[in-house]
Each structure stands twice: as C-alpha cells, then as structure tokens.
Structure 1
C-alpha cells in the first residue's frame, strides 16, 4: 500500500475525529437529534449529524489527494446531491418518493456526466442500443439499492460505520492488487472519514450519522464498485464482487422486502425485524456482540470476494456455507414469518427436536401425501422409466468418433492480476468476437507490462504466431524493450497494464506474405498503465493488435503503437 493511500486514510481520519464532537455539540443545541420511537433502541438526547463531519472530512481529503477528472467530478456532485437529500431528511423528514427522486438524480449525474455505469453489459441477440438502455436502468437500480441497503443497517451503534469500513478496505486491497491506486485512494478517503466518526459512534454512541451520512456512504460505495472494484473484465467483477462484499446489507434489505410483503405492510414501514434486531432481541446478545457478529460476517463475505481472485473453489465453498448459515438464522429467528422454515424442517428429520418443525406436520408434506396417496407406485414407475430412457438415449447417441483436441490458450505463470482475469474470460467465452478481443487484450497486457518480466524476457510470445515469432522478438528488442533490461537491473520495471478497453474489432484486409489464406482482424485497444509509463511517457495508450484465425484459434501476427490515448470529446 502506497504512502499516498495511507495518508489519505490518516488525514481524513484525523479531520473527522476533530470535527465530530464539534458538529455534535452545535447541532445538539440546534435540536437536530434522534428522537426516540418504537423502532429506535437508544435513550437520551443524541445528535444525528455525524454524517456532516464524515462528508466534510471526505471533501477536504478529496481536495488534497484526488486528481479531478470528469468521473471524479461526477462522483463529488452526485455525492453532494445525496448528502443534501439526507441533510434535509434529518431535519424535516422527507417523504420516501422525494428521497428516491434525489437518489435517481444523483445516479443520473454519475451515469450521464461521468460515464460511470455497467461496462461491457451486453445481452446476446439484443441490439446494442437496447443493452445500453438496460445497463443504465440496472446501474440506477444498483446505486439506489446499495444506497438504501447501507442506510437500512444503520440501526445499532457503530454497525453501519464498521461494515462500511470493512467493505471499503476490501475494495482498497483488491484495487491495489490490480494496480488501481485511484480506486484505492478514493476508498481510503471515505474509510478514514468513517473511522474518525466511529470513535464516537461505537456503543454507547455519543452521536449518530443520520441519513445524510448513511445515504452518502451507501451512494459512494455503490459508485466506487461501478468504477471497477479494482478489476477490468467480466460482469462478475463489475457487480458480482461488490454484491458478495455487501451481502449483509443486501440480504437484510431483501429479507425486509419479503417480510413486509408477506405481512402486507408497506415497504417503507419500519419494523424490528432486521438482522441486528434479531441478534439483539431474539438471541439476546446485546448491541456490542450483535455488531461484532455482523462485522465478522461482513469480513467473511469480503474474504469470499478476495479469494475468488486466485482460489475460486475455496471462495464458492465459503460463500455457500455462509448462505446456508444465514438461511438457518433467518428461519430460526422468524425474520420472514413463523411458518417459513424449510431448511430447519429438513434438518429436523435427523435431529428429531420438539422445538423445530417436523416435516410430517408441514403443509407441503401434507399436500404431497394427499395428492399422491395410492399413486406412489405409479409415480416411482414413471421416474424409473424416465431415468432409463435418458441413459438409454445418451448411450445410443454417444460420440464414437475420434476425439478432437480442444483449442487451448497458454496462461503465463507469473501473469498480472489483469492477465488472470482476461484468461478466465478466454476460457469461459463461447463468443468468437469476444474471444478475439480477449486474446488481443491478453497479448497486449503481457507485452506492455514490465512488472513481471525478467532480463531479456519479452511479453506476449505465447500468443504470437510461431512462424513470425523471431521477427517479432527482434523488432520488440529494438522498439519497446530496448531499455527494459536497464530498468530491470535497477529494479525500476514497475510499469503494469491495469485495465483495457476495446475501441474496435474489425476485419482487416491487410495480409502478410505467406499467410494470405487466413482471415485477419484488427483489434484496437485502449490500455491504461498503473502510472505514467517510463518508456512511453504516458499513462494511457492506444494500440492495434492484428490477429489471424488459423484452425479456429487466434494468433497475433503484428502489433502497432498508435500513440497516447485521447478520450474522444462527447461534444
């Protein structure tokens, strides 16, 4: 972790820690306090304006540490809108529709002005313009959903703040792993601001963050995750990873929606059926233990997301285990209803406990018995016939011809995180157009990344056409790799490609001598380094990768550096 990233946390932490008591004292005298009601569990006069200090500390930190561009500006503007919505709600209690309208406005700012949305969201056989519209709609839903999910868990002292810090630290770690220091700095600015507030918010709380704080934090987390969560690649890493990390607030929100639907209540009607309420009241754990348990749950879900980078099988096992535990907790504490206990009913087949539901007493079992009584032997006969028919069909239609060796691409053993992500896409895709792009991107990421190179090593050789490999290596040594050995000797080979964008993927009419019989394709890429390239003296470049299709496998036959990448003017 760089000094810049650490300082961004430390500075905002100190600022927030200094501001929180001052803001609390002033606003308490102004009467901006959390009022006691049937939903709240606090006692006494406690100001609900900690979010002011969080926002101000973050804003000061952003002015010091962030390099502004269109995306950052859009995030700051959207964050300001959300903060003002929460600010007004803390004082005057905005109606739900007005709050959602403000959230939609903030989301549109980051989408339309900042260009922050789901990248590469495509639905097969659906026109691009329709997919783009759907991507915008899903992005708005994501921002609003996460914003409110974080707000809903702000029910116990230190709960929302602590979970948010864990999420932001996870984003920081994964971003640093992928070389995305910009996302790491943004995350740590917010984490530091929240940590400074948490000093006064942990039980017994002296101040609450209020809607201005919870909504702002939720909005920022949702947008930071859309910036890539530290990755460039599949849709999973665009939304899947943050969904896993934010599993606690997301599942709590989904359960709340289902619960209120089952009990015919309005969605915005408050209750004491949330995760933290069940831990505190149903299990009688108290505030501190309940909060620490939810911290641990968030940390474990965060671990799932991180493990998925290099150990996806372990990540899946842990994730499924956590989901099962969560489901059992939901059923045991009646989070949805007293009748909803499918897993516990199945478990009790083996436990035979009187305090758990028995399967013979369940309504589904009674319906099955009632409907199939006297017909069971016929049902079993049908099942046997179906199974026998299936395996008979598989046997008679089995492939008895010669086995065709599947087309494989080589993965570099010491590849960068981006290369690992691209390789997963290469292995999983069945789309030939997408495969061309992934092969070109993998070659380019390997060729231009120097961080994983040894002396005299040239990247991309595994993907270059073998008959032209010698010419490629000779040219590379005189071109991009001319001074690389010197950088390696001095330990300065830190250049690393951290993200890519496909600018075009077209058929090429230019063909090389001796390879005229193959189809050619030009893939133009925008590549981003982790910092300004020491060789090319720019952070963003444009390159053209030319490939041929030989026996349904793509090979790179040439590359060309187009110069620094300049983002096209939307005007």
Structure 2
C-alpha cells in the first residue's frame, strides 16, 4: 500500500508541475521577470539573459498541493508535514523576495546577505521549536555504525547550520540548465527511500512529492531552459533537504547524499581563501560547474556528469544506511 501511495505522490506532483509550468512561463515573461546574468559569469551565459525566472513558484506550489492532497486522502496531516512545509515555504518566500528585488531592480543582487540570513534564522528557529514539541532526539547517528552522540543543547546550532548551510549550498548549485533539478531529484529520491525504510511515512511522502515536482519542472528547465527556478526554488529545496535529513535522523548522511552541493560550496570557499591569501585562483571560476565550462566542456556534459556523481553518492548513502 505504501509503495502505491509513494508512486501516486510522485506522479501527481510531476503532473501538477508539468501542467503549471506552461501557464507560469508566459505569465512571468509578460511581467518581464527575466533573469539578469552576472557580467563576470561565462560569456556563453549572456544569451540566457531575459529567460523567465522565479519558476521555483511552480515547484513549491506542486509540493504543497500534492502533499496536502495525499495527506488528507491517504494519511493524516501530521506535525512532521507541517514542519516540512514551514521550512520549504518559508525558505521559498525568502528566495521569492530575493528574486523579486532582482527582477524589479534589474540587477543581480537581491536581498542583502544580512536580510537573507535573518529570514533563514527566523524559519530555522521556528523549525527547532517544532522539533521540541515533537520530542525529537538530540542524538546524531554515525553512518554505517550503531554509534550515536548526544549533542544536547548543541543540537540547536547544528539545526541552524544545516538549514542555512544547505539552502545556500543548493543555491550555489543552481547555475546550469537542469543541474539543480536533476541532482535535487536524485538526492530527495534517496531520502524518500531512507524515510520509507525507517517507516517515516509522512517524510517519505513529502520527499516523493519534491522528486515529482522537480522532475516535472526539469521538463522545462533542461537545456536549453525555458525557465529558471531562481532563489525561490533553490532556497526552498535546500531548506527542505536539510529538514528531511533532520527528521530522518540522517544529519551526517546529508553530507554524502548531498555531496554535489557540498563540493560546489567547497569550491567557492577554496577559491575565495586562495585568492585572498595568495592572490591566485584554484579554479578558472567558481562554483565548480563553471570551471568545467571554461575548460571546454559543453553545458550538457557538465550537467550529466554532476547527475552521475550525485547518483553514485546517493546510492552509497542508501547502502551505508540500509545494507551496512
């Protein structure tokens, strides 16, 4: 029965995204909500200027509609679902404000870093308050072992770092057509399996809804993209994957399953530190996907390669948790 519900969730969410996208794309184009491309980015990206952005609205709406439909139709609306929706919609709203400022001001800046961080911290605080009401353990499990460590009050800063860090890491990965949608679908699919294995039905349903939503969006976001998800989608997905990892008690495994996001973030950190300390760049451009573009790889080759890396890491993560 559960497998059937998961499949229904994925298909419904995929269908909603596929139906909504063609309606939203012309609407965003009429409002002139086009992406402005940073001047220091790869020259080949300049032709993408004006492509409708804020398509993440479609992803978030698909997740909300599908989750509510499946919850009331087959399960019940739980505290876990409420918390997952809180994080996804909350971070999506922060991203929406960022995107809105960008397209209205016609500049690739958006919210200041302090404004964005303040919004993320408020949502993280509300999420943690909900975790306390759920009575969730402050222990973290070491993957592939039976060892656990009780962090006590240190669990709060861990939750904050995970939510804020994951949302920004996923945001950095959203730089090529279909890159984030594909790697996101793989990572959320892995967590859907882990949640199902742990008998966390609500979390598995929510994860499946996200997989369907991003795959439906990918139909229009694959190269050449007809729409970008913008910060609306990337921040929402980043917050969601961290929240799912916390609720499934796979906090450390997130680093492996979300390895592509981690690698992208590390490439930026390494680039900044190297340039400030040595005056030299390690990569031709960061995040890492731009380095490979400037090295002569086609955009599609970079995207598919990152998908493959994401798939390998996701399978390894599932193996460590389920079969080890």
TM-score by length of 1: 0.49
Partner of 1:175: 195
Partner of 2:47: 43
Q: Deviations over 1:418-473 (max 9, x none)?
A: xxxxxxxxxxxxxxxxxxxxxxxxxxxxxxxxxxxxxxxxxxxxxxxxxxxxxxxx
Which protein is richer in helix relative to its size?
2
CA contact (8 A) 1:34 1:46 kept: yes
1:100 aligns with 2:117: yes
Give, in angstroms, the shift of residue 163 of structure 1. 0.4
**Which of 242, 249, 258 is 1:246 aligned to?**
258
Counterparts of 1:307 and 1:11 in 2: how far apart (Å)? 28
Counterparts of 2:86 and 2:320 in 1: how far apart (Å)? 33
Q: Deviations over 1:456-506 (max 9, x none)?
A: xxxxxxxxxxxxxxxxxxxxxxxxxxxxxxxxxxxxxxxxxxxxxxxxxxx
1:218 aligns with 2:217: no
* Stretches of structure 1 lacking an aligned partner (at least 5 in a row): 123-129, 230-237, 266-270, 313-571
Query: Superposition pairs for residues 521-560 of structure 1, below 5 Å?
Result: none
Partner of 1:300: 312
Partner of 1:11: 12
Gap change, CA 1:118 and 1:23, over 3 Å in 2: farther
Moved more, 24-33 or 155-164: 24-33
Counterparts of 1:303 and 1:286 in 2: how far apart (Å)? 26
Give, in angstroms, the shift of residue 131 of structure 1. 4.2
**Which of 50, 61, 64 is 2:66 aligned to?**
61
**Which of 300, 303, 311 is 1:288 aligned to?**
300
Give, in angstroms, the shift of residue 76 of structure 1. 1.7
What is the aligned-residue RMSD (CA, Å)?
2.1
Query: Superposition pairs for residues 25-424 of structure 1, below 5 Å?
Result: 25-38=26-39, 39=41, 41-44=45-48, 45-66=50-71, 67-92=76-101, 93-115=110-132, 119-120=138-139, 131-228=151-248, 238-264=250-276, 272-282=285-295, 284-309=296-321, 312=324
Gap change, CA 1:4 and 1:206, over 3 Å in 2: same
Counterparts of 1:121 and 1:82 in 2: how far apart (Å)? 24
Counterparts of 1:21 and 1:226 in 2: how far apart (Å)? 34
Q: Secondary structure at the match of 1:155?
A: coil
Partner of 2:105: none
Which protein is richer in strand relative to its size?
1
TM-score by length of 2: 0.84
Counterparts of 1:171 and 1:185 in 2: how far apart (Å)? 10
Give, in angstroms, the shift of residue 311 of structure 1. 5.3
Specify which structure has the bigger relative contact order, considering alpha-carbon pairs within 8 angstroms and separated by 6 or more residues. 2
Q: Deviations over 1:491-525 (max 9, x none)?
A: xxxxxxxxxxxxxxxxxxxxxxxxxxxxxxxxxxx
Greater Rg over alpha carbons, structure: 1
Counterparts of 1:146 and 1:23 in 2: how far apart (Å)? 27
Give, in angstroms, the shift of residue 114 of structure 1. 3.8
